[in-house]
Amino acid sequence: MSFLRRSNGADSSKTRVGDPNIEKDGAADDDKKKDQCKIPQRRNYGSKKWSCWDNCCWFIGFICSIWWFCLFLYNTMPDSIPQFVTMAITGPLPDPPGVKLRKEGLTANHPVVLVPGVVTGGLELWEGRHCAEGLLGKRLWGGSFGEFYKRPLCWLEHISLDNDTGFDPPGIRVRPVTGLVAADYFATGYFVWAVVIANLAHIGYEEKSLYMAAYDWRLSFQNTEIRDQSLTRIKSNIELLVATHGGKKVVVLPHSMGVQYFLHFMKWVETPAPRGGGGGPDWCAKHIKAIMNIGAPFLGSPKSIALHFSIEVRDIAALRAQAPGLLDKDVLGLQTFKHLMRMFRTWDATFSMIPKGGETIWGGLDWSPETETVNNSAKKGTDNSTRNTGGNGNICDTKGVNYGRLISFSKDWAETHSSKIERVDFKHVAKGDKLMNSSNCDIWLEYHEMGNRAIKAVADHKVYTAGSILDLLHYVAPKLMARGASHFSYGIADDLDDPKYDQYKYWSNPLETKLPNAPDMEIYSLYGVGLPTERGYIYKVAPPSDCSIPFQIDTSVDGDSEDSCLKGGVFSGDGDETVPIISAGFMCAKGWRGKTRFNPSGIRTYNREYKHAPPANLLEGRGTQSGSHVDLLGNFALIEDVLRVAAGATGEDIGGDRVYSDIFKWSERINIKL
């Protein structure tokens, strides 16, 4: 303490009170000390470095925060705000067809039946394996598809059918969802029938006057009746609708494969029991006012060939090309292409989509209805092409295109005149030399039983038309096609009075069965035009590997010009991206037009085409003028036609035929006995 006092005293003796210099020095020292105290703090903060982990966490947190904030706004803001924003950007929105027609005084009249197509109807689980615990009564198909991501192999096992019986595997029961919710939306935010239903509601329809004819679209058409009595349910519900609406007949709206399913139904319902519904020869005449077929694959679709042959279509092939080998490899125990083909080939209903009518309808080696005659032997100096103008005036240049060649192995064989092609008869080539290490392959694919010699023979055949495509499928997948051939047929009947055509395998083929005796009924074909639609493919033999699918679309092949119909190994024609115009339009343009052997009572038929126009902006969603296969169900012009007919109008009242394509000219080139 004394030391401290002496020190303080010494210091104080040297300090003169009031000396300004000393005060300044003290203040400066204090400031200096403060600055010295601050400097280390700045250095500490500035020296801290962010790791990649910190950046990732902050980025994920930021994205999640924005996502939840937007989700909160979406669920809390009034419904009028998005509409207000859209109107501020695009201007006043047109009235939906239902609102427009209600202002005109149209009201609900005829009950309406909706028939969904392939894959658009929901499926739910009623019994499953141990791996599906907790999914009873939940959707396996449609909705969120959440279970696909959680347990993909289990999901694939349950969504596939038994390869021998065509029904559910033992211990599994998957059944169609019922009611309007079965196919209003395919997945969250992706409408199927929702827009049509909403517009029907605007003019007074409700659930008691609407019926969704849901069925298990995986099963063959006749098997839906054997397992679920789906055809009987449709018959009973239509009879109920007619009875509860004062005898007013129904208007039926089938879409996509539902068109073929309802063709099968019309033959079944009038066939005597037990083979059919026993409704009598005038059942359709008494109960159906009109059938408005939407996106109708009456005569099949080339897409189904590619799916059965290599589980590819244009988009999948392009994806495969961008990531070579990824989808073929065993990623996390899931060999994507192998399992997709395994699943798809168990769905018997898909056989109904294989092209019907052979070369008579789809063309031969050197001609097709869309291009008439192609003179490939004199390509240079001769322009014998036509412009496939269809719905938008410029689909592609058909110069040198042989649409009749559905599959070609190389671009050269797709273009060479038939007189210069020598083809191997693959059907007699034995399949003895199995691929190496094929014991682990799944027999569902059947490809591992072919061997290299058989694969080479398929490629050496070079070109396949609709007349030889069935032979090809029977050769590469005989077990698969044996089952398919027992349920569906693809020819043209010589004599429709032949008793063999009373068998159910012919009922969904409009070229092998008669329309019902219902002269007052009307049949419409409503389809989109103006979109590139798959019409033929160029294939290559894939590099050999264990359990591989040996054939692939050759995405490296393009046409010689920028607007060629050949891009990425796929020939495109006009249509709705899924169904070519020939398939959708021929029957109503010629096959059923007037009294023909396919339409003995002269049911009136109409072709109504909808020219595709893309959405004007992102706020328009999938567009109100789309001609795409599914988006067509949101096309305002189509919905207006449907509503007018449901309210009582006839085909003549809505203007009769409306076409933008050359469907009538193309149909005249098809030489078929009527």
Point out the catalytic residue in the list 168, 576, 641, 662. Answer: 576
The two tokens of residue 287 are: 């109960």
Facing residues of 381 across strands?
A: none
Phi, psi of 501 (to 5 degrees): -80, 0
CA distance 38 to 151: 58
Q: Is 348 designated active site?
A: no
Q: Give the helix ranges, DSSP H, for 403-550.
A: 411-415, 452-460, 469-476, 478-485
In 10 A of CB 497, how many CB atoms? 9
CA distances from 384 to 303, 371, 373, 381, 463 (A): 27, 9, 8, 10, 22
Q: Is 576 designated active site?
A: yes
Tokens 């347990």 correspond to 151
Strand, coil or helix: what is 637?
helix
CA torsion 501-585-256-494 (nearest 10°) is 10
List Cβ neighbours of 140 (8 Å cut-off, separation of 6 or more).
123, 124, 125, 147, 155, 158, 159, 174
CA distances from 377 to 418, 422, 645 (A): 9, 15, 51
The two tokens of residue 145 are: 């598809």
Facing residues of 463 across strands?
A: 408
Strand pairing report for 396-397 and 387-388: antiparallel
Q: Is 629 designated active site?
A: yes
| Number of residues that this document lists for the chain | 674
CA nearest to 335, candidates 537, 545, 142:
545
CA torsion 181-184-185-189 (nearest 10°) is -110
| E runs forming strands in 148-287 | 173-176, 185-187, 190-191, 210-212, 250-254
Cβ–Cβ < 8 Å for 569, 348: no
Point out the catalytic residue in the list 629, 631, 641, 662. Answer: 629
Catalytic residue positions? 256, 576, 629
